[in-house]
Amino acid sequence: MDRNLVNILGYGVDTFSMDEAVDYIVKNHGQVVTINPEMIECASSNEDFKRVIQDAEMVLPDGIGIKLGLKILGHDVARIPGIDFGKALIKRAYYLKKSVALIGATQDVVENAVVNLKAELSNLNIVYYHNGYFDDNNEVYNELLSHKPDLVLVALGAPKQEMFISNIKSQLPDSVFIGLGGSFDVWAGAVKRAPKFYRDIGCEWLYRVISEPKRLKRIFPTIPLFLLKVIIERFKSK
């Protein structure tokens, strides 16, 4: 299966279903970006980040903002939340007996995430993990180069995690890399994921704002402005 991209403000977004996306990236390897409006906004003033997103081997529509934006442009795509896709990749790695590395979050969080993942998938082959608070990328890169994990999960927040991945991916051409934001915190049990009800109606963001009000700053005015830009793009292309 080939990629089928739809465009939003200059970024190609893949239209795979969850299963197709797992199949594609496990076969083709490379970097998965789970894109959201905050990342597009950040990339508008950061050329390097912009190029990293555009050069990614897969770009998945993570949040409701991207889904809405694509809808305005006439594309109906399924949301693929990064945390769910990350878990699907881990499960695939488990069944294929592939190796996994986790990089990111605090020491407690990454340790607990490893313990919980191994409890859920016994003998999951986690060959390396490291917390996300390090000054010297090279030390972590060298560990990755020596372990050559098939799947590398990086949770440093955007754009740090995407830049971190892009600087190493060419040296590990057979690996799959994905930036996963706050997912380790959820897997560690340190942060609760939004209940299914919120997720089903596309309001996971609302639950996260209620439980962590400082997130509001990240959403407003970024998301309304993003949607405004999308509406302008829509009219320009008519």
Which two tokens mark 210?
Answer: 């209620």
Q: Is residue 116 at the binding interface for ligand UDP, with CB under 6 A as the rule?
A: no
Longest dimension (CA), the chain: 54
Closer residue to ligand UDP in complex, CB, 69/104: 104
How far is 121 from 81, CA to CA, in rounded Å? Answer: 21
Distance CA 50, CA 52 (A): 5
Residue 54: both structure tokens together: 């555009």
- Of 98 and 129, CB closest to ligand UDP: 129
Retrieve residue 122's tokens: 């016994």
Binding-site string for ligand UDP from residue 8 to residue 37, where x marks contact by CB under 6 A and - marks none: ------------------------------
Nearer to ligand UDP, 45 or 123 (CB): 45
- Binding of ligand UDP at residue 101 (CB under 6 A)? no
Q: Is 157 near ligand UDP (CB under 6 A)? A: yes
Is residue 181 a contact residue for ligand UDP (CB under 6 A)? Answer: yes
**The only residue of 21, 33, 101, 105 in contact with ligand UDP, by rule CB under 6 A:** 105
Of the listed pieces 22-30, 53-61, 70-78, 157-165, which binds ligand UDP according to CB under 6 A?
157-165
Cβ atoms of residues 65 and 126 within 8 Å: no
* 8 A C-beta contact, residue 117 and residue 90: yes
Rounded least distance, CB 59 to ligand UDP, Å: 15
How far apart are alpha carbons 56 and 49 in whole angstroms?
Answer: 11
Question: What number of chain residues touch ligand UDP (CB under 6 A)?
Answer: 14
Would you list the DSSP string of 141-207? Answer: HHHHHHH--SEEEEES-TTHHHHHHHTTGGG-TT-EEEE-TTHHHHHTTSSPPPPHHHHHTT-HHHH
From candidates 60, 158, 168, 223, binder to ligand UDP by CB under 6 A: 158
133 binds ligand UDP (CB under 6 A): yes
With binding defined as CB under 6 A, does residue 185 bind ligand UDP? yes
Q: Return the residue of 117, 153, 156, 223 that touches ligand UDP, per CB under 6 A.
A: 156
Spatial contact of 26 and 92, defined as CB atoms under 8 Å apart: yes
Q: How far apart are CA 105 and CA 153, in angstroms?
A: 11
Span near ligand UDP by CB under 6 A; candidates 20-28, 43-51, 118-126, 154-162 = 154-162
Binding flag, residue 184, ligand UDP (CB under 6 A): yes
Which residues of this chain interact with ligand UDP, rule CB under 6 A? 104-106, 132-133, 155-158, 160, 181-182, 184-185
